[in-house]
Structure 1
Amino acid sequence: MTASPLRVLVWNENIHETRGDEKALANYPDGIHTAIADGLRRHLGADAEVGTATLQEDEHGLPQNVVDRTDVLLWWGHAGHDLVDDAVVDRVHRAVLEGMGILVLHSGHYSKIFTRLMGTTCALKWRNDGERELVWTVAPRHPIAAGVPHPINIPEQEMYGEFFDIPAPEETVFLSTFEGGEVFRSGLTYTRGNGRVFYFSPGDQEFPVYHHVDVQRVLANGVRWAAPVGERRAFTADYHAPGWHLA
């Protein structure tokens, strides 16, 4: 079984904050990663040790020894996907295949690690008019939906809409609707190798979404769900599953 407490790492490119983006700093004066980590600590308590890492650190804060001891990684990126070193992506990808869980958040859909895990463009429709987002639970028995209201009401958020170019998920847990009439598959689960993947879209830097208690609850549930069910182990396969690849 996985050692208790869970070892959780929140990764953030930290570009909006370090560039002095006024809206991002107003919402997240200590960085998006800190807000996410604080929410996880509140909801997971003694069940998890939660740390943070950013793009600006050596090896982006993800050297081999850190990745080796991480049970679940959360990934937030937006403006610097191309700045992430391919060797670090290889390292994280291998860890997921071996059994590390990963939560990919919001605009992390375009990250190198997510597009590699999906094997598709991961493109979507978007506009940023600060509209209300309702996050509807469509798989109420899924562990990630435990204790989550139906719907989550997010007063202001960037709109993500279909078509979302991803492989068919194992389960769609959440579906979002927006004031403009769009819908979006906003909470999706996958298995890649021995690892579990959860994509959750709410959380733009221009809005204080990661302070929302119900969003925090979803992320905490996602961490519990994505945690390894046993010791991390090598994964090999002589085929590429539809919609994704190993290398």
Structure 2
Amino acid sequence: MSANTTTGRPLRITVWNEGVHEAQHDPASMAVNYPDGIHGAIAQGLAEHFPDAAIRTAVLADEEHGLTEEVLADTNVLLWWGHRAHAEVDDAVVDRVQRHVLAGMGLLVLHSAHFSKIFIRLLGTTCSLLWRNEGERELVWNVDPTHPIAQGIESPIIIPEQEMYGEYFDIPAPDELVFISSFEGGEIFRSGITFTRGRGRIFYFSPGDQEYPVYHQKQIRQVLANGVAWASQPEVRRESPTVQHPEREWFAR
């Protein structure tokens, strides 16, 4: 997969993970499933598809959460994974990320990051959903095989164990619906959806709970790579037409 952007420069990717489970809440399980952290597994998968890309990682504990103005200015696509520490993200950093998305930076919002400040800010709704964690099988159905994010993706992707996310998902109507998931309990979920805010492309993809090695699955890594390639292309901003009117005394009495 090409790692060049429309400017001809190598693709620049930042993978952000709060890093709280690794350090505090579930270090034993994380050591088995994600010895290099969730961000490490995601970055590794992207490197398989973009060997020439510049891929950096950042976590909550980094100064300015690792998302300084310089880092964001040098990022084509930001991937965001969060779960327990949404409230700990500094609002000034959220403002900064939002500004860069509106200016054209791509954003991939992953799993529990549906409750992240940045996703709620950009969508303007609660982003709440139904959930249950009993390690059930998830089937991820490709419902838009013509979409660039769905290229090369089997249907369904089988995830042996995963946290269940279900409807109703309180979001605005997506621009595009790419994947729908079904679970053993009968629930369904809009698991792969896109939005555009300003010039920035946003892809939300739900599979990827911290308790299960989902980000090591080949097809999941392909979806993320496809999502990065798609989100790396900013929307073209149309110029407002200029209309010349003859001078008139509109308000003359």
Give me the TM-score of the superposition, normalised by structure 2.
0.89
Whether 1:33 aligns to 2:39 is yes
Matches of residues 132-151 of structure 1 in structure 2 within 5 Å? 132-151=137-156
Q: Which of 52, 57, 60 is 2:57 aligned to?
A: 52
Q: Which of 66, 74, 78 is 1:73 aligned to?
A: 78
What residue in structure 1 maps to residue 29 of structure 2? 23
Looking at structure 1, the residues matched to 235 and 180 of structure 2 have their Cα atoms a distance apart, in angstroms, of: 30
Looking at structure 2, the residues matched to 20 and 104 of structure 1 have their Cα atoms a distance apart, in angstroms, of: 22
Looking at structure 1, the residues matched to 73 and 7 of structure 2 have their Cα atoms a distance apart, in angstroms, of: 13
| Matching residue's letter, 1:157 | Q
Percent identical among aligned pairs is: 65
Q: Is the 8 A contact 1:2 1:228 kept in 2?
A: no
Matched position secondary structure for 2:113: helix
- Report the alpha carbon displacement of residue 3 of structure 1 after superposing the two structures with TM: 3.9
Looking at structure 2, the residues matched to 70 and 154 of structure 1 have their Cα atoms a distance apart, in angstroms, of: 30
Looking at structure 2, the residues matched to 13 and 190 of structure 1 have their Cα atoms a distance apart, in angstroms, of: 23
Q: Is the 8 A contact 1:2 1:230 kept in 2?
A: no
Q: Which of 129, 140, 143 is 1:124 aligned to?
A: 129
Q: Is the 8 A contact 1:170 1:189 kept in 2?
A: yes
- Report the alpha carbon displacement of residue 154 of structure 1 after superposing the two structures with TM: 0.4
Give me the TM-score of the superposition, normalised by structure 1.
0.91
Q: Is the 8 A contact 1:99 1:193 kept in 2?
A: yes
- Greater Rg by CA: 2
What residue in structure 2 maps to residue 242 of structure 1? none
What residue in structure 2 maps to residue 94 of structure 1? 99
Over 6 Å off, 4+ runs: none
What residue in structure 2 maps to residue 207 of structure 1? 212
How big is each residue's C-alpha offset from its partner over 1:203-230, in whole Å with a ceiling of 9 and x where there is no partner? Answer: 0000000000100000000000000348
Q: Which of 220, 224, 232 is 1:227 aligned to?
A: 232
Cα pair distance change 1:76/1:142, threshold 3 Å = same
Matched position secondary structure for 1:184: strand
Q: Is the 8 A contact 2:201 2:235 kept in 1?
A: no
Q: What number of residue pairs does the alignment pair up?
A: 233
Looking at structure 1, the residues matched to 93 and 207 of structure 2 have their Cα atoms a distance apart, in angstroms, of: 25
Matched position secondary structure for 1:139: coil
Q: Which of 142, 153, 166 is 2:171 aligned to?
A: 166
Looking at structure 2, the residues matched to 88 and 230 of structure 1 have their Cα atoms a distance apart, in angstroms, of: 23
Query: Which is bigger in relative contact order (C-alpha 8 A, separation at least 6)?
Result: 1
- Report the alpha carbon displacement of residue 26 of structure 1 after superposing the two structures with TM: 1.6
Range that drifts further, 1-10 or 145-154: 1-10
Looking at structure 1, the residues matched to 233 and 170 of structure 2 have their Cα atoms a distance apart, in angstroms, of: 27
Structure 2 gaps of 5+ residues are: 1-5, 238-253
Q: Is the 8 A contact 1:78 1:107 kept in 2?
A: yes
| Matching residue's letter, 1:109 | H
- Report the alpha carbon displacement of residue 45 of structure 1 after superposing the two structures with TM: 2.1
Structure 1 gaps of 5+ residues are: 234-247
What residue in structure 1 maps to residue 249 of structure 2? none
Q: Is the 8 A contact 2:108 2:202 kept in 1?
A: yes
Q: Is the 8 A contact 1:135 1:151 kept in 2?
A: yes
- Report the alpha carbon displacement of residue 199 of structure 1 after superposing the two structures with TM: 0.1
- Report the alpha carbon displacement of residue 29 of structure 1 after superposing the two structures with TM: 1.1
Whether 1:63 aligns to 2:62 is no
- Report the alpha carbon displacement of residue 39 of structure 1 after superposing the two structures with TM: 0.2
Matched position secondary structure for 2:50: helix
